[in-house]
Structure formats: structure tokens, C-alpha cells
Structure 1
């Protein structure tokens, strides 16, 4: 007595439908009692199957239900860091419990919600947008100062009764030196 279609499908590592198709196409034979002889069927399956169409069989069966799967080290470290930030005691690397991981997940969700709410209220702004706005403002300010000596030199020269060209050169040198000093100031947006 052989195996049923479903039992042979489990034995072979394929679906029940694949076994039905193999029987219907004549690639494997069914015994007189309606069962499948696994040795005969395996030989027939291997010799009549197109290797390009065959999916690789899993090397090892999946772990039984309830078996803990390994957790990536990066995930464990992220949980430990989150717990430390929230004031919870961070466990050693191998002593992580589900409750601690769940607590870290809830802390992260709360932090995300607080940030999202701050953005909605207008208390927080997008960092890249703030940086680009500050950069654009500083560039406009610099351009205005670079153009100022040319506009103001003639008026100052007329008031002081000096050469307008020389006045513009002196003003431009002082403005450029001042702008150079201002460029050394670093701003930090955190």
C-alpha cells in the first residue's frame, strides 16, 4: 500500500495540485488501490520533469510553530537603545524578553506620534526645509551686502567730497572682510 495524494505531496515537498497535475499528465502512475508508490513515483517524477520548470526543494523544513526565530543583532540593539532613552533598564544582549521588546515598540510609537503632532501644531518643522530656508536667507543677505558698496559709494563720496571710485573700492574691501568673518559662524540645527 502506498501514500495518498496529499501524503505524497508532503513527501515530495510540493502542493497537492502539483501531484494531481502529474497524475493527470501521466508523469506518475497511481497504483490499483488509488495510492502512490513513493519510490516509483519519485523515479518517474525525476525522469519526466523539465529541470527548468522544477522549483528547488527546501533544504530544511521550516521550524515548528512556536519555535523562536533568531532576531537580528541590529533589532536587539535598537530595542536596548530605545529602552535606555526612555529610562527603562536595558537588558543584556541575550536576556531580551518579549515584554521589553514590546515596551520599546510602544515607546517608539509614542515618540513618532509626538513628533507627528508637533509637526501638525507647527511646533516642529522639517529639518531639510529649515536648512534650505536658512541657506537661501543667508545667500540673499550676502548678495545684498555685496551689491551695497556700488549703490552707496556715489552718495557717500558726494557727501564727503572724495573720489567715488576709490570710495567704492574701500567700502567693497570692508564689506567683503566682514562677510568673510560672518561665513565663519557655524549654525547647528538639531
Structure 2
């Protein structure tokens, strides 16, 4: 056999055997004397005689560009786990992205489990609790000079009103300093 069989040529050009048989019957293929198909000459003849608008081309896959934030998030996740992260601007391989995805899923499951076990608390609830406790402590300190000024004045031998005024001044100064402290609950 000098050329290719119908099956071989169909596999080479990505068409069905029936389509090759139709092209052969229509004279769009070049045949050798033994009936086998001359692949190069047949490709050229098919290209000349085939209307390009009638050909079926596989649609090009539509790929969206990956945002840089997503790529950096993959890199951060991989670095947190001690794995190789992509170079900046070098792109991420599919394997790296898949690894990061699996790591994130495992972290999410761990957090969900900790929440179910009661080991984690709601952030908003924790902030509200811290604020309430700080407010209660502040109120106790604001009222403290009025409660102890007379006792301290008697111990030291000074006027109770002057002692209360001095204590209030220093307590308020201390509370102002404490108010500048911002808790970092990250």
C-alpha cells in the first residue's frame, strides 16, 4: 500500500471515516493506483476545494485572565504551608493552584471543625465583649476617687474634697492614656 487507508487518513485529519468516504466519492482526495490515499496531495486538494466557512473548527477555549490578587493569594497560601510559591509575575502552574486550593479547603474544614467544637468564637461578639469589659472597668475607675477620697484624706490628714479632686485628676489622666490603646484582635 503506497498511501494511507481511509481509517488512517481520517485519524490523521481528525474527521470521521464516513466524511473521508464522502470526500473520496466527491473527488476531493488524491488516490494512488492501489486505491490508497496520498495524504499530502489530498490535504492540499481538500484545502482548495473546501469552503472555509463550512469547516468545523473546534471552538477556542475561552480563558479569562487570572487576577493578580488571586495569583498572590495562591502564593501566600503555598508559602504559609512551606511549599514552593510562584515567582512574582511568573504565573502559577496548575499544580500550584490546585495544591493551594486543597490547602485552603483543608484550612476551611479545620476552622469549621474548631467552630463546631466551640474552640472559635465570633469576631463581632468578641469585640463587643472586650468593649463591654473595658467600659465596666472604666466606670469602676471613674467612681473610685469618690469612694476612697475620704478614707485616704483621713489617713494623710488633708481635706477630703482636695483629696477627691486630686485623685479624680490623676485617674482621668490614666484613663485617657489607656483610651489610646487600640486592641488588635486579628
TM-score range, shorter chain: 0.5 to 0.7
Number of aligned residue pairs: give it: 127
Say which of 72, 78, 81 aligns to 1:86: 81
Q: Say if 2:71 and 2:91, in contact at 8 Å, map to a contact too.
A: no
Alignment of 1:114 onto 2:110:
yes
Say which of 42, 58, 64 aligns to 1:70: 64
Say which of 146, 159, 166 aligns to 1:163: 159
The separation in 1 between residues aligned to 2:92 and 2:170, in whole angstroms, is: 63
- How do 1:11-50 residues align onto structure 2 when only pairs under 5 Å count? none
Alignment of 1:180 onto 2:173:
no
Match of 2:128 in 1: 132
Measure how far apart 1:186 and its partner are: 4.3
Q: What is the alpha-carbon root mean square deviation over aligned residues?
A: 2.6
- Larger-gyration structure (1/2): 2
The separation in 1 between residues aligned to 2:185 and 2:70, in whole angstroms, is: 28
Give TM-score scaled by structure 2 length. Answer: 0.56
Measure how far apart 1:88 and its partner are: 1.9
Per-residue displacement from partner, 1:17-63 (whole Å, max 9, x unpaired)? xxxxxxxxxxxxxxxxxxxxxxxxxxxxxxxxxxxxxxxxxxxxxx8
Give TM-score scaled by structure 1 length. Answer: 0.55
Seen in structure 2, the aligned counterparts of structure 1 residues 99 and 147 have a Cα distance that, compared at 3 Å, is same
The separation in 1 between residues aligned to 2:173 and 2:150, in whole angstroms, is: 21
The separation in 2 between residues aligned to 1:130 and 1:89, in whole angstroms, is: 36
SS at match of 2:63: coil
The separation in 2 between residues aligned to 1:156 and 1:95, in whole angstroms, is: 71
Alignment of 1:97 onto 2:97:
no
The separation in 2 between residues aligned to 1:171 and 1:76, in whole angstroms, is: 58
SS at match of 1:71: coil
The separation in 2 between residues aligned to 1:80 and 1:181, in whole angstroms, is: 41
Seen in structure 2, the aligned counterparts of structure 1 residues 68 and 77 have a Cα distance that, compared at 3 Å, is farther
Unaligned runs of 5+ in 1: 1-62
Seen in structure 2, the aligned counterparts of structure 1 residues 75 and 64 have a Cα distance that, compared at 3 Å, is farther
Measure how far apart 1:68 and its partner are: 5.4
